[in-house]
Amino acid sequence: MRPLEGLVMTVDVDRREVIKFSDTGRGIPIPGGANTDYRFHPGNDPPEMNPINPISMEQPQGPSFTVTDGHLVEWANWEFHLKADQRAGFIVSRVVVRDSETGDRRSVMYKGFPSELFVPYMDVDEAWYFKSYMDAGEFGMGATAMPLVPLNDCPRNAHYMDGVFVSADGRPFIQPNMICLFERYAGDSAWRHTELTVSAGGEKVRNR
């Protein structure tokens, strides 16, 4: 969090030599290092709040989805392929839904993944012009993903998937527990609409 602006070095990675050195930011101050940590540090005193009781979602018969061959997910009348991706983070593909009345299968989506983070730097400065618009994908959302912690990031009965990626020197490596797949309760009403007329029996309530 203390960048050195204007310091640029060009390196020949084949010869392992620095071929150009540029320092144009000598007049740009360096941020201070004291009292700048944005991360939360819990103190010794308890928080000023009423205690919260734990909440647990139980599935006595286990999850309702199945995962075949490590990536093919089937849940209710849905079927899709889920995999980790070094650049996009994760990819959902070949999404198919089966009509609950006729049983006919219908393709919904061929391939989908999270949107890229667009950062238009638009700075012609020597230290910034080469930075890509695709800020996260340039390095890789999957490569920067952290392992998910069971019962902390994901609930019980979650299914975990690793990411198999490749490093800069071409060697494969595994990003463990990069994706977790689980069910959550979604029975709460998204919104409630009521129509109440003056006449008796005119109340209409709709939940979604």
Neighbours of 92 (CB within 10 A): 15
Q: What is the mean pLDDT of residues 8-31?
A: 90
pLDDT at residue 91, rounded to an integer: 93
- Distance (Å, rounded) from C-alpha 1 to C-alpha 36? 9
**Which of the 8 DSSP states describes residue 160?**
E
> How large is the greatest C-alpha to C-alpha distance in the chain, in angstroms?
88
What digits encode the pLDDT tens for the residues 147-187? Answer: 999 988 998 889 999 999 998 889 999 999 999 999 987 76
- Please give the sequence-ordered ranges of beta strands (E in DSSP) within the chain, or none if there are none: 7-12, 17-23, 66-68, 72-75, 78-85, 89-98, 105-112, 159-166, 172-181, 192-195, 204-207
pLDDT in tens, 85-128: 988 889 999 999 999 889 899 999 999 987 665 666 677 787 77
Q: For residues 19 and 33, which has the higher predicted lDDT (pLDDT)?
A: 19
> How much is the pLDDT for 186?
72
The enclosing H or E element of 127 equals: none
**Summary count for the chain: helices (H), strands (E):** 1, 11
